[in-house]
Structure 1
Amino acid sequence: MTQSITPAAVRVGGGLTKQFILILAIASGLSVANMYYNQPLLADIGRTFHASSNAVGYVSMLTQIGYALGMLLFVPLGDIRERRTLISGLLIAVSLSLVGFATAQNLIWMYIASFAVGITTVVPQVIIPLSAELALPEERGKVIGTVMSGLFFGILLARTISGILGDMFGWRAMYWIAAVIMLLLSFILYQLIPKTKPENNSSYTDLLKSMGNLILKYSTLREASLIGACMFGGFSVFWTSLAFFLEGEPYHYSSSITGLFGLIGVAGAAGAPFIGRLADRIAPKKIVGILLLLTLIAYGFFGLAGFTIWSLIAGVIILDLGVQGSQVSNQTRIYALEPAARSRINTVFMVSTFTGGAIGSTLGSFAWQHWGWSGVCLMGGMLIVAAICIWIIYRVIEKKALNAGGA
């Protein structure tokens, strides 16, 4: 995909300006936040509709299922459509979906609205391959890390902001505010993003079919996608259950306090640009292995959360660093596979990741309802162990292939 407009606000020398990278990061964060406003508010939403924690947990699950489906349907269009128009159109659509959530009158209505919010909130997954496309090869890891950092800040700060606003004005207020933000963002990005011309002339149907070929062709993509699913599943197990844990013994915290844990997680997410720079210099697959072990340690801290709040805080920081760092490292790996197919490669990776997140949300709600916090910690930890096993299996396969080639 080549640029037809390169304003000074976008490029300096051969690379992207810091200001433009920051704009893309902020846009990614504001967009993805729509998916996570509900998590610290789940207990409040449950009281509004007189629903159990398990029933309300489907709100998060359906949002993430919608997100995975939206990536499958819309993100590949980035390889055959002008991205600026695609991004603006999706932002308008998500604004309407947020209004539907804000006006929900029963749980079924909310389920439908949650799914609609998810399926239209895919703008970050169009922005990320766009940033990789515009960046110079030697700065790609850093740029992806910065944009992903904005995305994770959005995920984490969404919880803080929605928790505070939920306490002050009720949970519906957050969604009215988010709808207005999306409309404004649609206008701003349309003015700032350079117009692009797609190089791929395939039909939409052929584009979707080609993703299966990409999966078969690249073992790195298969590995990264499976690890992403397990890691984000473990991430979602924790965050879906946290509001229920903190409102009970021994803490009795409100939704605003629960939301502040998202702010704590920013400390972990802040490490993404650093990890991105490491991925430009060190083999990203090695970094991924270290971060998987780090994330497992986070669940060890969560297991002690019933005894001390400091172990919960430490676990949040480590969890967010491990999950985001592994995503940045894996994306650096897969974006180098086939530049002309970055949107489709990103689609495969992110559909897998957020399908894992949807499963994790369901498992987290189920574990909490049946086994409490210890069940949540065990469930999340098992998903991280699964990711470690996948990483080890692919290293063994890789070593055997190298030995066979050497022979």
Structure 2
Amino acid sequence: MTEATAQEARPASPGMSRGLTLLFAVAGGAAVGNLYWAQPLLGVIADDFGMSTSSAGLAVTLTQVGYALGVFFLVPLGDVVDRKKAIPVLMGGAAVALLATAAAPSFSVLLATLALIGVTTVAGQLITPLAGDLSTDEQRGRVLGTVASGLVLGLLVSRAISGIVADLLGWRAVYVAAAVIMVVLTLVMARRLPTLPARGSVPYGALLLSVLRTVRSRTVVTVMLIGSLTMCVFTMFWTGLTYLLSADPFGFSATQIGLVSLIGVVGAVAGMQVGKLFDRGLGVPAIGVALSVILVGLVVSGLGSRLALVIFASVALFSVGAQAVQVLAQTRMLSIDPAARSRHNTVFIVGNFIGGAVGSALAGTLWQAGGWPFVMVVAACLPGAALTVWAVQRRRALA
């Protein structure tokens, strides 16, 4: 189905109200936040089950594996199923998985329930394309910027408060509280999601194959590559920052490091505004500027690695650039074909997932090899590569 045919087949959307946009941002952020509750809790979980900290790291790995499977096998269904029903069902499933995690009697059961959390958390990635469908052309960048920023805020807030709640009430209380939040949002979303027009039926196997076929498009590959490189440097930076702040001369605790991540809220707030540039036809040049901001942030961080205030300033600068690229790239991806937004979002998120996994893995190796300066030198090559792709394709695939 061509873009023109898809637009003719659907009635014009009245647009997204600010209230519904905010609801989508909160619901998406809560869903994505479920992926990151465990990160600051690994030591506590290891002690509770009598495991080594390295073994407890499987908790994060299995959650991410579940998420990757959910993104590939469930998110494409957003192009064919009734999302008014599918999104609340997934969010309700996440609430059940969160409660099961809180009650897990053994580490093996915990791993299984965390994997289920990962699978059901993909509700957030169904919400984003739906926001694109419900938006008018004139507001799509602003709406998607707000929703995407909500997802990032969910990530940042969950990591920041997880350790604090666990210190006060125990790690299981974190998952009980998250389950309560998901139950409330499930009921609100079931009530507030608009009734959507019927969508064409596509066999499931053909739907998954069509995801792979979208990668033939130069525009899809270019946008995915820019997003993937940005996510790679994003996870490399934040993982390396954990090593830096926990070592001398800083010696920060896990809770303090979690609070430092809240500086990234600056980037999320910027992301809410940067989508407006896409609406004004400035998305392509804005991507180039944002990649340059990432590069400057990395240089500042590398040069000022022993000064806390310089590091904090570089975190803010880096976060603004990284979030701006992600918002603009994802908005461009979701504008390629209205009939395939969920499938294109699948490609974008899978690319991000691969980039993020590579970045976090490289951070540890690079830190061992040469410390923070070496991490920053290699990290700077990534936005440099993305800028090269952008420069070559800005008047072609990105136009």
Deviations 1:2-39 (A, max 9, x none): 9xxx9xxxx9xx33221111111111111111112233
Q: List alignment gaps of at least 5 residues for structure 1.
A: 403-407
> What is the rounded CA distance, in whole Å, between the counterparts of 1:60 and 1:375 in structure 2?
26
Q: CA deviation at 1:248?
A: 3.0
Normalised TM-score (structure 1): 0.86
Q: CA deviation at 1:343?
A: 1.0
Provide the residue aligned with 1:405 in structure 2.
none
> What is the rounded CA distance, in whole Å, between the counterparts of 1:383 and 1:45 in structure 2?
34
Q: CA deviation at 1:150?
A: 1.2
Kept in 2: contact 1:95–1:182 (CA 8 A): yes
Q: 1:131 to 1:268 in 2, by over 3 A?
A: same
Provide the residue aligned with 1:28 in structure 2.
28
Deviations 1:258-296 (A, max 9, x none): 121232111121011221001111332221121112112
Secondary structure at the counterpart of residue 34 of structure 2: helix
Q: 1:223 to 1:372 in 2, by over 3 A?
A: same
Deviations 1:325-358 (A, max 9, x none): 1121112222221111111111111111122222
One-letter code aligned to 2:382 = L
Provide the residue aligned with 2:189 in structure 1.
189
Deviations 1:216-237 (A, max 9, x none): 1x21111111111121122112
Q: 1:395 to 1:131 in 2, by over 3 A?
A: closer
* 298-307 or 321-330, which deviates more: 298-307
One-letter code aligned to 1:317 = A
Q: Is 1:75 equivalent to 2:47 in the alignment?
A: no
- Aligned-pair RMSD on alpha carbons? 2.8
Provide the residue aligned with 1:204 in structure 2.
204
Q: 1:66 to 1:98 in 2, by over 3 A?
A: same
Provide the residue aligned with 2:166 in structure 1.
166
> What is the rounded CA distance, in whole Å, between the counterparts of 1:363 and 1:304 in structure 2?
20
Q: CA deviation at 1:398?
A: 5.7
Provide the residue aligned with 2:260 in structure 1.
261
Q: CA deviation at 1:387?
A: 2.5
> What is the rounded CA distance, in whole Å, between the counterparts of 1:339 and 1:297 in structure 2?
35
> What is the rounded CA distance, in whole Å, between the counterparts of 2:167 and 2:32 in structure 1?
22
* 301-310 or 372-381, which deviates more: 372-381
Structure 2 counterparts to residues 284-323 of structure 1, below 5 A = 284-304=283-303, 306-323=305-322
> What is the rounded CA distance, in whole Å, between the counterparts of 1:80 and 1:47 in structure 2?
45
* 300-309 or 75-84, which deviates more: 300-309
One-letter code aligned to 1:18 = R
Structure 2 counterparts to residues 222-301 of structure 1, below 5 A = 222-301=221-300
Q: CA deviation at 1:256?
A: 2.1
Provide the residue aligned with 1:51 in structure 2.
52
Q: 1:62 to 1:269 in 2, by over 3 A?
A: same
Q: Is 1:87 equivalent to 2:87 in the alignment?
A: yes
* 310-319 or 61-70, which deviates more: 61-70
Q: 1:140 to 1:284 in 2, by over 3 A?
A: same
Q: CA deviation at 1:110?
A: 5.0
Provide the residue aligned with 1:385 in structure 2.
384
Q: 1:59 to 1:292 in 2, by over 3 A?
A: farther
Q: CA deviation at 1:125?
A: 0.9
Provide the residue aligned with 2:3 in structure 1.
none
Q: CA deviation at 1:147?
A: 1.0
> What is the rounded CA distance, in whole Å, between the counterparts of 1:62 and 1:305 in structure 2?
36
Secondary structure at the counterpart of residue 16 of structure 1: coil
Q: 1:63 to 1:387 in 2, by over 3 A?
A: farther
Secondary structure at the counterpart of residue 197 of structure 1: coil
One-letter code aligned to 1:221 = V
Count residues with an aligned counterpart.
389
Q: CA deviation at 1:380?
A: 3.3
Kept in 2: contact 1:76–1:343 (CA 8 A): yes
One-letter code aligned to 1:186 = T
Q: 1:52 to 1:364 in 2, by over 3 A?
A: farther
Provide the residue aligned with 1:39 in structure 2.
39
Normalised TM-score (structure 2): 0.87
Q: CA deviation at 1:389?
A: 3.3
Kept in 2: contact 1:29–1:153 (CA 8 A): yes
Provide the residue aligned with 1:132 in structure 2.
132
Deviations 1:146-177 (A, max 9, x none): 11121111121122211322333343332221
Q: 1:300 to 1:252 in 2, by over 3 A?
A: same
One-letter code aligned to 1:51 = S
Provide the residue aligned with 2:157 in structure 1.
157
Deviations 1:301-343 (A, max 9, x none): 3324541111221122122212221121112222221111111
Kept in 2: contact 1:40–1:258 (CA 8 A): no
Q: 1:395 to 1:24 in 2, by over 3 A?
A: closer
One-letter code aligned to 1:199 = R
One-letter code aligned to 1:115 = A
Secondary structure at the counterpart of residue 357 of structure 1: helix
Secondary structure at the counterpart of residue 35 of structure 1: coil
Q: CA deviation at 1:126?
A: 0.5
Q: CA deviation at 1:45?
A: 4.7
